[in-house]
Amino acid sequence: MDKSEIKARIEELSASLRQHNYDYYVLSAPTISDFDFDQSLKELEKLETEHPELAGENSPTKRVGGDITKKFDTVAHEYPMLSLSNSYSREEIVEWENRIHKLSPTTPTYVCELKYDGVAIGIRYEDGKLKEAVTRGDGSKGEVVTTNVRTIKTIPLQIKGDFPAKFEIRGEIFFPLENFNRLNEMREELGEDLYANPRNTASGTLKLHNSAIVAERGLDCYLYGVYGENLAAPSHSEAVKKAGEWGFKIPDPAKNRITTCTSIDEIMTFIDFWDKERSKLPFEIDGIVIKVDNYIQQDDLGFTAKSPRWAIAYKFKAERVETTLNEVTYQVGRTGAITPVANLEPVLLAGTTVKRASLHNADQIAKLNLHEHDSVYVEKGGEIIPKIIGVNEDKRQPDANPVIFINNCPECNTELVRKEGEAKHHCPNFVGCATQIKSRIEHFISRKAMDIDGLGPETIDLLFKQGLIENYADLYLLTFHDIVELERMADKSANNAIKSITDSKNIPFESVLFALGIRFVGETVAKILAKHFKNIDALIAANLEELINVEEIGDKIAQSIILFFESETNRDIIARLKEYGLSFEMIVAEDASDVLANNTFVISGVFEKVSRKELKELIEKNGGKNTGSISAKTSYLVAGENMGPAKLAKATDLGVNIISEDEFLAMIS
């Protein structure tokens, strides 16, 4: 290439990498793989090294990665959060280890640990108490997400033992696979698009403004990097061990999740082990991190402009296999959402046999240009649900027909609809589509709804086929004989089922509301609506404006609620459920009051007389509302000891009333 072509290529790579950087860190919606991103970055680095006069001042090679979203307060990192050099090549790991040997006067010991696929976090502790939590951001400054981090149960608010007066601990917040799967199952039930992978969802969750939702999702965190003065630990491995003694969740050496090595062979053994075993972990990892263990040696080796010389990351390539598409079938959810599923020739991928892969919606099928019996590439790296990422068009049969999304419901043959702005098609036959009805009944009896035991999907199917139930209200007409005469149903099981149905009449209003299966009304929204409207009749009577004036309720949720209650069938079912004794109004505690009505509270810090949980209960019991973040709508900030300075500053700037624990208790006394 001549100089003008090189300049054009540098500009092209720079623009592309900036966009991908924004997609990854700010939108949490990457459009290329980590491998492709890193390869482009390396090409740009090579060109800029060879032609430094063409390197831009703000080139992507001169930053750590990440951006600030402007949703949260930002602070400068006391110790820059630099990213590690990435490698997909074993040869590069060998070269790195050789360089360390040449630069170090003494033979180094290395630490190998898992590279968690999550969100980097730095948490500052003072006098043993959690003070502030900050994201990586752009490496030099990050966003303050303390309130959300406090909801992660494995992160201690106060530590124990012989800890420094002031230090920072760093690690990775991630989404456990079980919790991520559960969240996607709920979204599928609601007819919403599934989240792509745990890493992006953890990032998006950490930046939510409702900490109650963050708490419900169940993020987790491993902490392993200690920064500060006078740490009294000579090495990284010793500091990690100390952190475990202080009460932090650290990588478990007994499970081989962190180990020390003295040779390249031992490093490679660790890499090989986890390349094979990573599919068995309850969370995602995308590689291995290798560090020089001794802190003095780390200082001697120093840093480049954007990464430490004493550490490197080996990234696993996402496992990809090729197999044949046998057919595309379609699933109907309880809200009528239609999900296309690719049925595949069974193939081994990441330790499991894959037979099916979600195609999400019609747009995904069109994007892949999928044809019947195509040879497809399936990937699971970073994905819980296997995903078709491409088609081998060279193997496509000349007479193959394109896969065309269906026009009618596969269960009831009703013509499908797709509303503007929605990704999925829906079957509008809410009252007549058998699959929707049975799915709604299964949702109704689920643990977080009416918590009715003893009636699984097979039993619901049998009851429905025999005409014993046509909707979930019919459950309360079932008798012992109805159930015991079903196939494989014993006397004890039938009695337990009847008892559980009867006991469900004591379930509180917010759970009953969730159980109704209104689209977009999940657990959290149901609680908000129940507390605001107090009873079902007030909710049914609410118009669009009244609904969207409720905090957290937007147009989409409000319209769905109105549509649900406009159905005469749904109103009849609710009337029957009332007759059967289900709770359709909030039960007010004897000592409740409305002294805090129309006031919104944020609590922050540590309290002496009551716990944070008790404070929240007192606010709600007396008619107030709890929120996790300060805004212009906040009435009071209840300030305890060691509250975050950013939150205090924001409250002051917005003119929010700041009161102490005693002042709050006086308000309700």
Query: Any idea where the domains of the chain sit in the sequence?
Result: 3-62, 74-315, 320-395, 434-579, 600-668
Q: Per-residue pLDDT tens for 103-134?
A: 888 889 999 999 999 999 999 999 999 999 99
In this model, does residue 343 exceed pLDDT 50?
yes
Q: How many CB atoms lie within 10 A of CB 213?
A: 18
pLDDT of residue 351: 66
Tokens of 276: 């094979």
Distance in angstroms (rounded) separating the CA atoms of residues 125 and 169 = 8
Q: What is the mean pLDDT of residues 394-403?
A: 95
In this model, does residue 358 exceed pLDDT 50?
yes
Q: DSSP code of 332? A: E
pLDDT of residue 94: 95
Distance in angstroms (rounded) separating the CA atoms of residues 533 and 526 = 11
Least confident of 118-122, 328-332, 334-338, 550-554: 550-554
Most confident of 201-205, 299-303, 594-598, 631-635: 201-205
Residue type, 643: M
Q: What is the mean pLDDT of residues 541-550?
A: 93
Within 391-541, where are the H helices?
434-444, 457-465, 480-484, 491-503, 509-515, 523-533, 536-541
**Alpha-carbon dihedral sign for residues 88, 91, 94, 96:** negative
Into which CATH architecture does domain 3-62 fall? Orthogonal Bundle (1.10)
pLDDT of residue 145: 93
CATH T-level fold of 74-315: D-amino Acid Aminotransferase; Chain A, domain 1 (3.30.470)
In this model, does residue 69 exceed pLDDT 60?
no
Q: How confident is the model at residue 556 (pLDDT cuts 50, 70, 90)?
A: confident
Distance in angstroms (rounded) separating the CA atoms of residues 158 and 467 = 57
Distance in angstroms (rounded) separating the CA atoms of residues 262 and 292 = 10
Q: Which helix (H) or strand (E) holds 174?
A: strand 166-174
- Going by C-alpha positions, the residue among 471, 443, 467 that lies closest to residue 576 is 471
Q: DSSP code of 458? A: H
In this model, does residue 644 exceed pLDDT 80?
no
pLDDT of residue 614: 87
Tokens of 217: 């999702």
Q: Per-residue pLDDT tens for 4-30?
A: 888 888 888 888 887 776 565 444 456
Residue type, 195: Y
In this model, does residue 520 exceed pLDDT 70?
yes
pLDDT of residue 80: 87
Into which CATH architecture does domain 320-395 fall? Beta Barrel (2.40)
Distance in angstroms (rounded) separating the CA atoms of residues 192 and 520 = 8
With a pLDDT cut of 70, the percent of the chain lying above it is 93
User: Mean pLDDT score of the chain, rounded to an integer?
Assistant: 88
Distance in angstroms (rounded) separating the CA atoms of residues 88 and 275 = 12
- Going by C-alpha positions, the residue among 227, 113, 208, 122 that lies closest to residue 172 is 122
Q: How confident is the model at residue 2 (pLDDT cuts 50, 70, 90)?
A: confident
Q: Which residues pair with residue 313 across a beta bridge?
A: 86, 289
In this model, does residue 68 exceed pLDDT 50?
no
Q: What is the mean pLDDT of residues 378-386?
A: 67
C-alpha 56: how far from its chain's center? 36
Phi-psi region of 245 (alpha: psi -120 to 50; beta: other; left: phi over 0): alpha
Q: How confident is the model at residue 629 (pLDDT cuts 50, 70, 90)?
A: confident
- Going by C-alpha positions, the residue among 292, 297, 314, 313 that lies closest to residue 109 is 292
Q: How confident is the model at residue 39 (pLDDT cuts 50, 70, 90)?
A: confident
Into which CATH architecture does domain 434-579 fall? Orthogonal Bundle (1.10)
Q: Say which of 3, 7, 102, 115 is annotated catalytic.
A: 115
CATH T-level fold of 600-668: Rossmann fold (3.40.50)
Q: What is the mean pLDDT of residues 76-91?
A: 88
- Going by C-alpha positions, the residue among 448, 553, 547, 459 that lies closest to residue 507 is 448
Name the 3-class secondary structure at 289. strand
Most confident of 181-195, 565-579, 584-598: 565-579
CA quadruple 98, 99, 105, 110: dihedral, nearest 10? -70
Burial of 414 (0-12, 13-18, 19+ CB in 10 A): middle
Within 280-335, where are the H helices?
295-301
pLDDT of residue 191: 67
Phi-psi region of 339 (alpha: psi -120 to 50; beta: other; left: phi over 0): beta
Tokens of 572: 């009849």
Tokens of 421: 């702005």
Q: Which residues pair with residue 337 across a beta bridge?
A: 426
pLDDT of residue 21: 65
Q: What is the 3-state secondary structure (H, E, C) of 104-172?
A: CCCCCCEEEEEEECCEEEEEEEECCEEEEEEECCCCCEEEECHHHHCCCCCCCCECCCCCCCEEEEEEE
Q: What is the side-by-side order of every strand in the sheet holding 657-659? A: 625-626, 600-604, 636-639, 657-659
Burial of 549 (0-12, 13-18, 19+ CB in 10 A): exposed
pLDDT of residue 53: 84
pLDDT of residue 591: 63
pLDDT of residue 636: 94
pLDDT of residue 280: 87
In this model, does residue 67 exceed pLDDT 50?
no
Least confident of 193-197, 357-361, 452-456: 193-197
CB 113 within 8 A of CB 289: yes
| Residue 434 CA neighbour count, 13 Å, CB half | 13
Longest pairwise C-alpha distance within the chain: 87
In this model, does residue 196 exceed pLDDT 80?
no
pLDDT of residue 396: 95
| Residue 233 CA neighbour count, 13 Å, CB half | 20
600-604/636-639 β-pairing = parallel
Tokens of 364: 């995904």
Q: Which residues of 261-284 are buried (b: 16+ CB within 10 A; e: fewer)?
A: beebeebbebbeebeeebeeeebb
- Distance of CA 310 to CAs 41, 111, 116, 122, Å? 21, 11, 19, 20
With a pLDDT cut of 90, the percent of the chain lying above it is 56
pLDDT of residue 42: 82
pLDDT of residue 246: 93
Q: Per-residue pLDDT tens for 407-464?
A: 999 999 999 999 887 889 999 998 899 999 999 999 999 988 999 998 989 999 999 9
Q: Per-residue pLDDT tens for 152-188?
A: 989 988 898 999 999 999 999 999 998 998 888 877 7
Q: Which residues pair with residue 323 across a beta bridge?
A: 376
In this model, does residue 40 exceed pLDDT 60?
yes
For residue 65, give every residue at least 6 positions away whose Cβ sits within 8 Å of its Cβ, in sequence order, or none: 21, 24, 25, 83, 136, 138, 139
Known active-site residue 367: no
375-379/625-626 β-pairing = unpaired
Q: What is the mean pLDDT of residues 271-296?
A: 92
- Going by C-alpha positions, the residue among 155, 88, 95 that lies closest to residue 115 is 88
Q: Per-residue pLDDT tens for 236-249?
A: 999 999 999 999 99
In this model, does residue 517 exceed pLDDT 90?
yes
More confident residue, 451 or 632: 451
More confident residue, 594 or 121: 121
CB 157 within 8 A of CB 126: no
Q: What is the mean pLDDT of residues 508-532?
A: 91
In this model, does residue 378 exceed pLDDT 80?
yes
Phi-psi region of 310 (alpha: psi -120 to 50; beta: other; left: phi over 0): alpha
